[in-house]
């Protein structure tokens, strides 16, 4: 799990978020609303998808491209197998680690694969690499 997280507010622009993504060791940033409530994560894929849809990253707010998406997360108490299953079931490569209302880190596919036995790591990588 990576504990150092970059974050963005829902009112920040996609351009601002893209700059923070460049600094992120996980390829994702945590999104918080004006009351500092966790709203989900934004990935490089989300930025590309918004631009491909013709949205202007200079004027589009993060909240506009993040709204309506379900939050997928794990807790510090979840096992590695539980985290792998969550990633496989939801087809995500990164999950925030949430302890109550606080985001304490981000778990990536690569970090998880390095911690799992070879067969389970292979299944995880294969599952998340399929279109």
DSSP strands (E only) in 15-84 = 28-32, 38-43
| pTM to 2 decimal places | 0.88
Give the chain's domains with CATH numbers: 7-129 (3.10.580.10)
Looking at residue 30, its pLDDT comes to 95
93 vs 73: CA distance, rounded Å:
11
pLDDT 10s digits, 27-44: 999 999 999 999 999 999
Contacts from 117-123 at CB under 8 Å and sequence distance 24+? 120/81, 120/84, 123/84, 123/88
Looking up tokens 């087809």 gives 91
Q: Dump pLDDT digits (tens) for 92-125.
A: 999 999 998 899 999 999 999 999 999 999 999 9
Residues 82, 80: Cα–Cα separation, whole Å: 5
């Amino acid at each position: 799990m990576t504990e150092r997280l970059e974050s963005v507010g829902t009112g920040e622009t996609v351009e601002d978020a893209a700059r923070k993504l460049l600094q992120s060791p996980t390829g994702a940033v945590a999104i918080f609303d004006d009351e500092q409530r966790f709203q989900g994560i934004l990935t490089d894929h989300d930025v590309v998808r918004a631009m491909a849809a013709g949205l202007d990253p200079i004027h589009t707010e993060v909240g506009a491209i993040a709204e309506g998406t379900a939050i997928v997360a794990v807790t510090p108490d979840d096992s590695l197998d539980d985290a792998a299953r969550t990633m496989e079931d939801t087809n995500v490569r990164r999950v925030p680690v949430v302890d109550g209302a606080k985001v304490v880190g981000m778990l990536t596919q690569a970090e998880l694969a390095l911690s799992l036995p070879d067969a389970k790591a292979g299944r995880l990588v294969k599952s998340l690499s399929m279109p």
